[in-house]
Amino acid sequence: MALGTTNISTSIVAQTIGVGSNDVGRLCNASSDNPSVPAFFVAEYANNSGVLTGELIPGKRPKWNIWSAANPGEWVVDGNGFLHFQLKRNPYGTTPAYIYSLGSFRGYNHEAEKPTLVCLSSPIRVIDNYIETTFRLYFGTLYTIMKYKLSREFLKFSISIDGGATFNSPIMAFPALPEEGNPIYIDYTKPYPGYGSIATMSGIMNVSISFYTDINGNGELTLNQLLKEEIYGLNQQFKQFPYVDNYDGAWVEKLIKYGSNNSYSDTYCNISGEVVVDSRTEKNGKILIPTGTRIDTAFVKFYITKKSGSYTSVSFDIIYDGLYTVRHTNSLVTGYTTMIEPNCNNAIAVDGAEHWYRINNITYA
């Protein structure tokens, strides 16, 4: 609940923001992690290295909510287009340049929402290299700050996949203000068909936002560290969202493993194997076995080579994902190859995850 516009006292403000002090300077400048330490560069506190600009100290936050429309701070853009957050300036140009004012807390709302960037599907699904998802920026007080204080009322989303090519949305106008009590947000939904650079079964999409003065992209605003941390939740230029491949089938390791090895060898024989699928999709040593694949297109293929001894057959377990085991016995002759159909309908989940075949428990007869 916001404070009123009259009868504002130091005790009311102190209780609201959680500072055990009735000093106006301390109420305006106490940092959230330690109220005894300043949040802004001001003269009244030591250890400012001579900086008296009233700007927010990097890494600091005041005890009050910077996203309330009424607070002791303000957003400003310098001549180079960089955004700053500082204590409100002295309008009379006298020393000091910043001011402390109890009146800054008139109408202050300690519960004001900060802006957030979200993805409406998590994790993002990828089907045949086709991505479609919706990113949403919740404005909160940022809407008023950008539009009426900083004259920025257009934005675009920039999206890159696995650090590759970047896709930009059109530059879009801010939405109209909704009825009171409804959220202020803007959506961007974009399919990325045929994005052939996806080389893993899962990855990261980086999303960032830029603000402009017009639809032509003029007046691009460089967000300061504070705003980036608040919107993206990270100490960087973007927010990350995960994606996973969601093909109609499952990714399976191409090579059959024995323990941590890709083949088996002893005195009597060598055994190696692979998963073989005609016209397969293959990435990073994994292949895609489509749902319902039958014996004419998908095989677990073993190469069994006799080395010595009088044994005529070899038996071994084929273990799928550690979830089920099937025992197989094959003739032991020089250069023998056997092909076994994977039970795709029952064994391989349609989940886009990675799976594997392994062999174990090798015996002879």
Measured over the CA atoms of residue 170, residue 174, residue 176 and residue 177, the dihedral's sign is: positive
Instruction: Please say whether the beta carbons of 160 and 205 come within 8 A.
Output: yes
Region 23-36 average pLDDT: 88
Nearest to 276 by CA among 357, 201, 196: 357
Strands laid side by side in the 313-320 sheet? 324-331, 313-320, 357-364
Least confident of 31-40, 112-121, 194-203: 194-203
Name 23's bridge partners: none
Task: Indicate whether 74 pLDDT > 80.
Answer: yes
The DSSP H or E segment spanning 28 is helix 24-29
Give CATH 2.60.40 domain extents, the chain.
116-245
Region 261-272 average pLDDT: 91
Instruction: State percent of the chain over pLDDT 70.
Output: 84
Q: b/e map of 299-321 (b: 16 or more CB within 10 Å)?
A: bbebebebeeeeeeebebebbbb
Residue 41 CB neighbour total at 10 angstroms: 23
Between 361 and 6, whose confidence is greater? Answer: 361
What pLDDT digit, counting tens, does each position of 330-364 carry?
A: 888 777 777 666 554 444 444 556 778 889 999 99
**Domain 116-245 of CATH type 2.60.40:** yes
Task: Indicate whether 241 pLDDT > 80.
Answer: yes
Cα angle 106, 12, 226; round to 5: 60
What pLDDT digit, counting tens, does each position of 288-323 carry?
A: 776 655 545 667 788 888 888 889 999 998 887 777
Q: What is the pLDDT of residue 355?
A: 77
Residue with tokens 């990261």: 204
